Structure 1
Amino acid sequence: MARNTLEAWIPEEYSSSPVIQSINQISAVEALASRITMGSDTKHVPRTAGMGVDVVSKGGAYGEDTSLNDEVLLTAIKFGKAARLAEEDIDDQVANIIQSKMIGWSKSYAKMIDNASLAVSGAANGTTIPFTSLYQLLNTTDSGLGYTGGANITTAASAGVPTYSEFSTAIAKVEGGDYFDPGNMVAIAHPAFRASLRGVVDGQQRPIFNENGAGTPDTVFGVQVRWSLGAKLSTTATAAPAGRPIMAFVNPELMLLGIRSGPESVFIDGRDGLSALTDESILKMRARRGWAYGHPAGAAILVG
């Protein structure tokens, strides 16, 4: 049957879209990660375990580096949802139901992409666990990279209030590694940490947490904090995780976010095709993303 509708995926414009603005405000991963353009469903991104350096005498031979060279694989996973909209609501000039649904989807997507990328436990299966999250990466031994599973994860003894020592131990895990970059380091944390951080002081009774005003990021130990509602542990990717909150100390250059497509939407008019049996149209929203963290030694997590 011939169609005369707007049934084509329309990408959101990054410069002015309220959907994009909402996602970047809520999602730490979308806002901070290194964006890798993907021309297909999968993309291999080079990763190196580093490169050594020697003193070379005048006329002497250069020593050859033996560090491991490998790659990480980004696989595009689709995050989407469809909304069935009554024609009466679409025609309502008071409330823009289509825009409202798109903004609602963007907020849920922002929380889910952070949760999937940072805090899901368990091996990736491409569906309920779309990626190997940062938490799972740090829980897994990788002999090729010389990393022992769990080494960079600190779990607070009390689920309520982590201590100064526990915060300090967690950030020290990454500060002592070869991938520490003080100019780029960011802490991504669930807002549940705000209350516990307010009372934490060092040995000289100085607060480790500075709450700053609008336009100035909060800091902990002098490191910028980016708050994320997706930064709670869960067994599957979700926009409403219910596990223990985490604070991840990361280098955004090692956060690899594959961009295959979207966010984008398609509107299917209810006046055409079989859907014409009801006065309803369908709005679909989606984004296709891949994720990997470059090296486990370049991150640390505190489980609150």
Structure 2
Amino acid sequence: MARVNADAWVPDEYGSEVITRVQQNSAIEAVARRINMNSDIMKVPRTGAIGVDVVAKGAAYTDAEPTLDNVTLDAVKFGTTVTIAEEDLDDAIVNAVAAFQAEWAVSYARKLDNACLGVTNGTVNGGTVPFKSVYASVTSGQKIATAGAVTYAKLSDTVALYEGSTYANDADTVVIAHPSFKASFRGMVDDNHRPIFVEGLAGTPATLFGIPVNFSFGAKTNSTASDSPSGNPLLVVGNRQHLLLGVRSGPESLLSYDAGFRTDEPVLKMRARRAFAVGRADSFGILEVTAGA
């Protein structure tokens, strides 16, 4: 088989249809802390809290002893190929390549979010479980389950789990929820009859309790990473600085005629290389709906 020249890969530029689709459908791509990776494995320094003392005039300072360790990002490749009849490239009214790229972007966004947020299996294998998700990283004490309707009290208690964390920070607080939560959010008001959920308008984000909220179809439990997870809907609230998204390359694509030379069927290859890790597991709270939102 002929070798493909890697230089022919075409990266999708910011503002392209593919990037727009990814940003619209992936909460992780939209809000996580992005870390550019120059190799497939990278260590991100992580420090513990540093105490502050009151020092009397002329007195000696006390040394703090914060714990310093690392979080490892290990990039994996999300990729797909599509075989296209040459006639569809030449004769189709729509741009077949652009259409496939846009649909791939949606599936990639959902699978990435599910891998980062909702995979229940905490044993990373580089394939079906590419990362240790937020769900698998947090303790049972950071999860609230509701078997039925989502209530104001459940939402408030979930946010309170995060607000009681050492790593809570209003400026970096985000909510990521499955779209099925929208039905519960609408019409829900606080004790002063003010809506707790405000739809975003004119480019402004939607908010829940005044916190920016992003919706993702990947925010569901599943035993392995999937672009159509079938488990329980999740709402995750936490500090975006502890959602570590390693960016190695892509999204990018390559159209090769080599493999389909005998059949007039070029192959479109699409990929993105990403890594993910949770910075501090105790900087998140999760609401899990076990019987429909």
Could you tell me the TM-score, scaled by structure 1's length?
0.89
Q: Is 1:293 equivalent to 2:275 in the alignment?
A: no
**Could you list the per-position Cα deviations for residues 60-87 of structure 1 after superposition, in whole angstroms to 9, with x for gaps in the alignment?**
2221222321110000010000000001
What's 1:100 paired with? 99
1:62 matches 2:61: yes
Q: Is the 8 A contact 1:210 1:219 kept in 2?
A: yes
Asked whether the 8 Å contact 1:5–1:268 carries over to 2, the reply is no
What's the CA shift string for 1:47-102, capped at 9, x where partnerless?
11211111112222221222321110000010000000001101125121111111
Identify the range of structure 1 (206-215 vs 176-185) with the bigger mean alpha-carbon deviation: 206-215
Give the CA RMSD over aligned residues.
Answer: 1.9
Q: 1:86 to 1:204 in 2, by over 3 A?
A: same
Greater mean alpha carbon deviation, residues 190-199 or residues 283-292? 190-199
In the superposition, relative to structure 1, how do residues 3 and 112 fare at CA in structure 2: closer, same or farther (>3 Å)?
A: closer
- 1:235 counterpart residue number: 223
> How far did 1:3 drift?
8.2
Matched, 1:78 2:77: yes
Pairing 1:254–2:242 present? yes
Q: What residue in structure 2 maps to residue 155 of structure 1? A: 145
C-alpha distance 109-4 of structure 1, shift in aligned 2 (>3 A): closer
Instruction: Give the match for residue 39 of structure 2.
Output: 40
Query: Cα 1:212–1:98, aligned 2, differ >3 Å: closer, same or farther?
Result: closer
Q: Partners in 1 of 2:5 and 2:167 — Cα distance?
A: 52
Match of 1:265 among 235, 245, 253: 253
- Kindly tell me the number of residue pairs found equivalent between the two proteins: 288
Alignment of 1:128 with 2:128, yes or no, is: yes
- Decide whether the 8 Å contact of 1:45 with 1:72 is kept in 2: yes
Counterpart amino acid of 1:89? D
Paired amino acid for 1:200: M
Q: Does 1:137 align with 2:125?
A: no
Q: Is the 8 A contact 2:221 2:229 kept in 1?
A: yes
- SS at the partner of 2:190? coil
Deviation of 1:210 (Å): 2.1
Rounded to whole Å, the distance in 1 between the matches of 2:68 and 2:244 is 17
Task: Spell out, residue by residue over 1:238-257, the C-alpha distance to the aligned partner (whole angstroms, 9 max, x if none).
Answer: 11111111111122222111
The answer to whether the 8 Å contact 2:119/2:136 transfers is yes
State how far apart, in whole Å, the 2-side matches of 1:55 and 1:171 are.
33
Report the CA distance shift for 1:177/1:59 in structure 2 as closer, same or farther (over 3 A): same
Counterpart of 1:298, as a letter, is S
**CA 1:205–1:20: 2 relative to 1, 3 Å:** same
> Structure 2 length as normaliser, TM-score?
0.93
- Which ranges of structure 1 fall in alignment gaps of 5 or more residues? 139-148
Q: Distance in 1 between matches of 2:212 and 2:8?
A: 40
The answer as to whether partners of 2:4 and 2:256 remain within 8 angstroms in 1 is: no
How far apart are residue 300 of structure 1 and its match? 1.0
Q: Report SS of the residue matched to 1:256.
A: strand
Which residues in structure 2 correspond to 1:166-245 (within 5 Å)?
166-245=154-233
Residue 144 of structure 1 is matched in structure 2 by none
SS of 2:230's equivalent in the other structure is coil
Q: Deviations over 1:152-176 (max 9, x none)?
A: 1111132xx1211111110001111
Partner of 2:263: 278
Fraction of identical pairs, as percent: 46
Q: Runs of 5+ in structure 2 lacking a partner?
A: none
